[in-house]
């Protein structure tokens, strides 16, 4: 089930790995989308509420493991922005020349995402061996502020690059 049309508007798009994305982060992205006029696509395997009159679309995928990740990787374009806490997904979209930001405001780039993936894999192994207990701390107000700043910087950079490209093409 999908409300995503086949036509893609020019310019960057924001993709949200919406199954695990905190509500506060989704709200920040939707507000920024309206202010900057950048389309957003939320991808999840369960229904997600979309506010009326937003630039957001929703794609519902099958409830299979990693189906959201597969959909985003298949549809992301260079210079798009992906919001995800899933480091393997971040690595896959960065490999396709997109940007990725975690809900805590960490920007994943070609320079850092593979190191973060290696650390994530090590921590996963230590947890499965019982050597490390627990997961990440709850999202804090400071995390939301870091995310908002990272989102603003990233969108500014992507929109400037688009404007420069459009100017050079004309």
Whole-prediction pTM value? 0.82
- Tell me, what's the pLDDT at 7? 56
Q: Could you give the CA distance from residue 44 to residue 58 in angstroms, rounded to a whole number?
A: 8
- Domain segments of the chain: what residues? 14-169
Q: Which residues pair with 82 in a beta bridge?
A: 15, 100
Ramachandran assignment for 153, one of left (phi > 0), alpha (psi -120 to 50 degrees), beta (any other)? alpha
Question: How sure is the predictor about 2, in pLDDT bands with cuts at 50, 70 and 90?
Answer: very low
More confident residue, 43 or 20: 43
The topology under which CATH files domain 14-169 is Rossmann fold (3.40.50)
């Amino acid at each position: 089930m999908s409300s995503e049309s086949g036509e893609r508007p020019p310019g960057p798009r924001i993709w949200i790995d919406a199954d695990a994305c905190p509500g506060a982060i989704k709200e920040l992205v939707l507000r920024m989308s309206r202010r900057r006029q950048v389309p957003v696509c939320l991808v999840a395997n369960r229904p997600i509420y979309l506010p009326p009159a937003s630039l957001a679309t929703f794609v519902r995928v099958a409830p299979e493991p990693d189906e959201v990740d597969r959909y985003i990787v298949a549809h992301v374009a260079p210079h798009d922005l992906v919001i995800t806490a899933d480091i393997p997904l971040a690595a896959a979209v960065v490999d396709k020349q997109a940007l990725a930001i975690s809900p805590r405001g960490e920007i994943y780039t070609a320079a850092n995402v593979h190191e973060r993936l290696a650390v994530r894999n090590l921590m996963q192994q230590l947890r499965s061996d019982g050597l490390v207990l627990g997961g990440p701390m709850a999202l804090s107000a400071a995390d939301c502020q870091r995310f908002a700043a990272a989102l603003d910087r990233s969108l500014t950079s992507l929109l400037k690059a688009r404007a420069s490209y459009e100017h050079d093409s004309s």
